[in-house]
Amino acid sequence: MTIHDIAKALGIDSSTVSRALNDSDRVTKKTKDKILEKAKELGYQRNLLASNLRKNKTFTIGVIVPRISRHFFSSAIAGIEEMAFEKGYRVVICQSLEQLDREQNLIETLVANRVDGVIMSISMETLNYKHLDILKTNNIPILFFDRHCDIPGNSNVLLDDFEGGYLGTSHLISKGCNRIVHFSGPRNLKMYQNRFQGYITALEENNIPFDESLVLSSHLMEKDGALLAKKILSMPIQVDGVFSANDVAAIGAMQYLKSKGVLIPEDIAFAGFSNEPTSRVIEPSLTTIDQSGSQMGKLAMELLLKQVDNKQDSISPETIVLKPSLIARESSNKK
């Protein structure tokens, strides 16, 4: 069922049908009505493949995240999708599963599908950005989101991780902690470096000497948290607080410690990062740094669409750094 079928059925030309369906003022209302009615009667559905091909525009944005099922990403996607829908765009969502080769493959597919723009959060394996060149070649704007990427000329929507690290650590200090362990993530991710720097700065500002042995790196999974907690208990120093670079590891640690009879927050206070839904529910509820995925998603899409919609007069790239906020809960509520 095409515009030609409608045209034939009415004995008119397909160009008139096309214009009528696009509500052009080059078609009189009478024929417009006739055409619309016939279109409905025949169950016509515009073929966007043809339309997009001709117009060289797809109203589609590609989104690549490491893993859809991570709460932060799924809520970010929800925000991205919502804003896109509002602005008349569609979204193709892909997951890199933290693998560089998948990421590369996805980029190529998105280019082949002629998306109008790309929003992505790079994988942990991504150390260079050669595979992103074809986006530039094809003049497709890209926006990095959550995970920073320092190739110039692109927009970023990020969280101020330094500030988050600083907030979390300062909070613990203000509650009376001064031997604070930091759970950090893979060292190549800027995000974790920044949270770590925030931790250090908070210590310095409060004249607490930095102790290298209190920084424990891992992949920050729940089981890592439990392992690190075990390590804490075997330390010669009496640890009285933990600032974890994510909630998941903090929760793993808390559960291990609780099972060993350690009191939280009295013996060891906790603060995490990300505000996972679980953190509100665990007992004691986990103090954390909020990073509103949905809001970041909306912002990212809005910013990218500004570039997409004004491609010809090339809007200059912009980096938005969102301020995180501390959510103080019971896990740090030392009296």
Chain positions contacting a second copy, by CB under 8 A: 43, 45-50, 52-53, 58, 67-69, 71, 74-75, 77-78, 81-82, 85, 90-95, 102, 108-109, 111-114, 134, 137-138, 251, 255, 277-278, 281-283, 294
Tokens 């992949």 correspond to what residue? Answer: 219
- Which of a second copy, DNA, none interacts with 30 (beta carbon under 5 to 8 A by kind)? DNA
- Cis ω for the linkage preceding 284 (within 30 of 0): yes
DSSP 158-198: EE-HHHHHHHHHHHHHHTT--SEEEEE--TT-HHHHHHHHH
- Which of DNA, a second copy, none interacts with 277 (beta carbon under 5 to 8 A by kind)? a second copy
CB of 259 to DNA, least distance (A): 57
The DSSP call for residue 151 is -
Calculate the alpha carbon distances from 80 to 118, 133, 153, 244, 249 in Å: 11, 24, 22, 27, 27
Query: Which of 108, 211 has the CB closer to a second copy?
Result: 108
CB of 294 to a second copy, least distance (A): 8
- Which of a second copy, DNA, none interacts with 91 (beta carbon under 5 to 8 A by kind)? a second copy
How many whole angstroms separate alpha carbon 205 and alpha carbon 200?
9
DSSP 102-132: HHHHHHHHHHHTT-SEEEE---TT----GGG
CB of 240 to a second copy, least distance (A): 23
CB of 286 to a second copy, least distance (A): 10
Interaction site with DNA (CB under 7 A): 2-4, 11-16, 18-19, 21-22, 25-28, 30-31, 44, 46-47, 50-51, 53-56
CB of 108 to DNA, least distance (A): 13
Q: Dig out the tokens for 55 from the structure.
A: 């117009």
Q: Dig out the tokens for 100 from the structure.
A: 């560089």
- Which of DNA, a second copy, none interacts with 92 (beta carbon under 5 to 8 A by kind)? a second copy
